Amino acid sequence: MPTEETTQPPVQPPVQPPAQGSIRPTEEAAPEPARIGDELASRKTSGPGLRAPIVTMACYLALAIAVTWRLWADPASRTVAGNPGDADLFAWYMRYAANALGHGRLPGLVTTTLNAPSGINLMWNSSMLLPCILLTPVTLAFGPQVSLTVLTTIGFAGSAAAMWWVLRRWQASPLAAALGGAVYGFSPALLHSAIGHYDLQFAVLPPLIVDAALRLAVPGRAVRRSQVDLRPQFGQGIRLGLLVTAELFISEELTLTTALACVLIVGVLAASCPRAAIRQAALSAYGLVVAAGVTLVLAGWALWTQFAGPLTQSGTPFLRDFYVNDLTGFVTPSALLLFHSSSSAAAAAAYQGEAPEYLAYLGWPLIIVAAIAAIWFWRRPPVRAMAVTAAVLAVFSLGGHLLVSGTTHQSVTLPWHWVEQLPLAGSILPDRLSILVDGAVAALLAFAIDTAKEWLAQAREARRADDARGADNARRVGRARPSRQRVRAALAGATAVLACLPLVPLPLQAATALPLPVGWTAAFAALRLPQGARVLVVPVPEVHLTAAMRWDADSRQQIALIGGYFIGPAWNGLAYVDGNGLTPTAAYLDELWAVGLRPGSALGQVATEAGLTQPGAPPSSSQVKADFGTWRPAAIVAVTPRYSALADYLTSLFGDPTVTAGQVLAWRR
């Protein structure tokens, strides 16, 4: 840790600050609420010019590349191992947006290019429209998987950089902010989210949203009523509205959890000085109205489409108390972290929500250091606000009932049980609050480091003043005690760094995405389908079988897929994964497709993971006729050998294939 200069100006009699919580009676003196604002919201930060930001950002980028280097070894075809279905889904989103922009239009919010002919509402799905649009040049030039690799790398480095920038704005020292940024940007929550949950792993905007919200809520300095200027609030309101709008088009769930974190932080600061909160309330409300106006102007149509447009739905497709943090997960490292054991990795792998949702881990050292810092520096508003926010969100992340070592204790009812009854709260998966928990802990750590450093400096100043009045030994003590203070400051910083070591990540494991089947491009070229033609691809895509979506994304065909992996309304209007699911005909076609696949082959592995077994009885002819009457495909494309069980069945329905190319058979309708 850097230390303050040892050379000091002439010693002045020490001035005793007012007791914490006291308010000075004179107008010129700043009351405690203003001191909180001055402590938190000073616009100027100290630091050695541009050198510290450049070095810090370079370190973040280097670490992000180190974590993702296995992807960069072949970015066009390698994806993070462990969640191929979601990787295929997001690759499809990338291609969908790129195709739309490539034809001179914005991607539609409701589209029939998936789950044709019914379509899907993209606002109810994690479609990541903003990143997909921004990365369109990369997608068109190099393919969707390269875009996802770029997004993952930016997600790590950008999230860390955003936290660093916010902490510096709130007066954290460069090194404390750098550590806080690294804790957040490379936290286990973001590391595990990188396993297919690209919308959550790209957590760049939440720190910026919290910063903008606090700028509206926290007064920077004491001012007379006649000096109130609405222009700063107007500007901050616009900034907050823009950030919220952007996050809505990245992850609506992360927008909601960030809003919850903002409420907690502002609530703690308001409770610390209620009179200032009351005086600031009108200004804050004005800024929030501006922010809401900006958001409605920019995202109002999208929100209307989601809640009042086509394919609206209600409820959540996920089971309650399933995607929740296991209490032991906070201290059990997974195999993705450098410091883990075989037993801890096995325990983490047994988590019911699987690896992409194993987000809780912080480690005993960081938990203990954060708890001690919160207690020791409790009187500091920044520390208090971050500590309460982290603790409350951590409790919420446990869900409605306690989960310990894989066992749910229904007798233990937790606060989230009542929170999830609120509007929209039920759509939040509690374990994903860990992303905001890690952000609050990172900020707490940074503020605690600087507070410890400041306290040590104050103690040094006080002792020097006493020694100066003590006369004879002043020179000797002036040489000795600063050295001890430097040691203590360095020890405090070293303790913080050591507490973060259990969070050091390993490079992400990579897997090869399914390549295009031999003959895929030639078959579509021979079919000469019009743009947007409806195509039944076998295997018919669904949540556990996304191969066709990957092939559609990696090719440049403009087709509308029948079936798909999505969240949509079922017949009763409730949200389900895959909506009504596959029809009997589609399910039978998938079962036939799996017959004869070699278990060790790539497609055989896909079929095994999808749980495809021996086909049952074929659907009735009336059922087949009804399903094809609903689909009305322009073509049927099957990835199967010429004389397979699937090929024989389709030939019995439609005659000989129109096109045979490699592993692909196709019938033009």
480 pLDDT above the threshold of 80? no
Residue 7 has pLDDT above 50, yes or no: no
- Segment 187-207 shows an average pLDDT of 98
- This prediction has a pTM of 0.89
Q: What secondary structure letter does DSSP report for 123?
A: G
Provide the pLDDT confidence category of residue 16 given band limits of 50, 70 and 90.
very low
In the numeric block, the tokens 């660093």 are attached to 164
Q: Which residue type sits at 232?
A: P
The yes-or-no verdict on residue 24 having pLDDT over 60 is: no
* Side chain identity at residue 84, one-letter code: P
Q: If you ran DSSP here, which 8-state letter would residue 562 be given?
A: B
The pLDDT tens digits for 510-555 are 999 999 999 999 999 999 999 899 999 999 999 999 999 999 999 9
CA nearest 565: which of 582, 589, 551, 587?
582
3-state secondary structure of 79: strand
Q: What is the mean pLDDT of residues 473-498?
A: 64
Alpha-carbon 184 to chain mean position: 11
Determine the residue type at 476: R
Mean pLDDT computed over every residue of the chain:
88
Burial of 105 (0-12, 13-18, 19+ CB in 10 A): exposed
Alpha carbon dihedral 154, 155, 158, 161, in 10-degree steps, equals -140
What pLDDT digit, counting tens, does each position of 340-379 carry?
999 999 999 999 999 999 999 999 999 999 999 999 999 9
Reduced DSSP (H G I as helix, E B as strand, rest coil) percent helix, strand, coil of the chain, to 5? 55, 10, 35
Query: Residue 668, SS3?
Result: strand
Own/partner long-range contacts of 172-177 (Cβ < 8 Å, ≥24 apart): 172/446, 172/447, 172/450, 173/2, 173/46, 173/47, 173/449, 173/450, 173/453, 174/47, 174/48, 174/52, 174/56, 175/1, 175/2, 175/449, 175/493, 176/445, 176/446, 176/447, 176/449, 176/450, 177/56, 177/446
Q: Give me the pLDDT at residue 274, please.
A: 87
